[in-house]
Homo-oligomer: A and B are copies of this chain.
Amino acid sequence: MTPLNTDARLKILPPDERVGYAVIGLGDLTSQELYPAFHLSGQSRLAALVSGDRDKATQQARQLGLRDDDVYTYDELERLKDRPDVQAVFIVLPNAQHREFTERAAAIGKHVLCEKPLSVSVQDAQAMVDACQNAGVLLMTAYRIQYTPHHQAARDLMRDGTLGRVKLIEATDVQVEPDEGQWRLKRDMAGGGSLLDVGLYCLNTARYLTGEEPTEVFAYTHSTPGDPRFTEVEESVSFVLRFPSGIIANSFCSYGASRQRSVRVMGEDAHLTLDPAFDYTNLRLRVGTEDAVREHLIREVDQFALELDHFSHCVLTGETPFTPGEEGLQDQVIMEAIYRSAREGRPVRLDRHEGQDVFRGTPPRPTERERS
């Protein structure tokens, strides 16, 4: 693990000059990934915890060196208005709550970094974009992979001609969701099944790597009959995207299969593999031709810290995040089309968007891609 202290990276600011965050939602992702990420970041500071469980939050705050009055319950969110040292919130709640908390945070003038998926519907996602725009605060969809060195290197290899003309993309993200009671398996909390959680990585990565927007989608969904976990939401989705340049992307996502997270890009001169592609560490990037397979050894940096610091940099400079609300909204549009295709048993056309990266903002400063 490497701190963010080299010249090519964002500057490390003294703690009191960093952007202060209130984290809303203290589940596993927060405690296992975000707390360390704040420690490893250079422009972001954890300033407050917002939770439904004051005792749990207070206990965590003490471990983190925060004061008891840095803890807020969900009801007390609006009291953050009086905390000028808290400029942003990081929403890490079940999908269905993203809209409400985004609107409430925007209403008190806080910038919003929101976990993916942005919301549970196009309608809600659009409302979130609108709320932040009207309040004059930034909204960023927390698409971690668009900020990691391995994915950035993969994107470069697609664009610098190493692969030749790209023809096909395969993206897979499957895992077992074992717990029947998990909110991710409840339609009203999650808004959908494996597609909104793991499948979104496949979709978002295909869009990120190509820089294009798909024009048509076809999908199948499947749930194992009788499996009590999949009565409200789908277990698996197979979807195919067509892009304007002719690229076809095949994707698989599932909550019912042993973990696999990979991306393969097939060009006329070479192919590129990210496997594992979506893990928090130990990503591997290989490029193969008929003569050789080359594994690029890329130094890893805490992915959440990179994501956090990009947003902090935007808060400090006023730049539009690379993955703003609009980027999350577009995936929501496509995911609704995927579900429609599966429901109606036919391909579904999408609005055509010309150009590259049409829903993205200022690119993240290139992180130095050092050797591990």
Chain A contacts to B: CB under 8 angstroms: 1-3, 5, 12-15, 31-33, 35-36, 39-40, 42, 62-63, 65, 163-165, 167-168, 170, 172, 174, 176, 218, 220, 222, 224-225, 235-236, 238, 240, 242, 246, 248, 250, 252, 254, 256-260, 264, 266-271, 279-282, 288-297, 300, 302, 345-347, 371-372
Contacts and interface: CB of A to CB of B under 8 A. Distances in A.
B252 A252 contact: no
A290 B299 CA distance: 10
Contact of A257 (B35, B256, B267, B346): B267
Contacts of A291: 296-297, 371
Contacts of A167: 174, 222, 224, 235-236, 254, 256-257
Nearest to A298: B291
A248 B236 contact: yes
5 contacts: A42-B63, A168-B254, A172-B266, A240-B250, A282-B282
A67 to B, nearest CB: 11
Contacts of A254: 167-168, 266
A35 B279 CA distance: 24
Given A258-B268, A260-B271, A32 B2 contact: yes
B13 A63 contact: yes
B302 A297 contact: no
B236 A256 contact: no
A250 B252 contact: yes
B164 A258 contact: yes
Contacts of A3: 31-32, 35-36
Contacts of A170: 170, 172, 250, 252
B372 A279 contact: yes
A257 B36 contact: no
A258 B32 contact: no
Nearest to A237: B248
Nearest to A11: B63
Contacts of A65: 14-15
Contacts of A281: 1, 281-282, 300, 372
A130 B320 CA distance: 61
Contacts of A163: 258
Given A1-B33, A15-B63, A238-B248, 8 more contacts: A1-B1, A40-B40, A167-B235, A168-B254, A257-B268, A281-B282, A292-B296, A293-B294
A282 B295 CA distance: 14
Nearest to A164: B258
Contact of A294 (B1, B267, B269, B294): B294
Contacts of A297: 290-293
A281 to B, nearest CB: 6
A224 to B, nearest CB: 6
A290 B248 CA distance: 30
A1 B280 CA distance: 7
Contacts of A13: 63
Q: Give the 10 A-B CB pairs with smallest separation, nearest first.
A: A39-B39, A257-B266, A15-B65, A290-B371, A167-B257, A14-B62, A293-B295, A294-B294, A238-B248, A250-B250
A265 to B, nearest CB: 9
Contacts of A347: 345-346
A297 B339 CA distance: 35
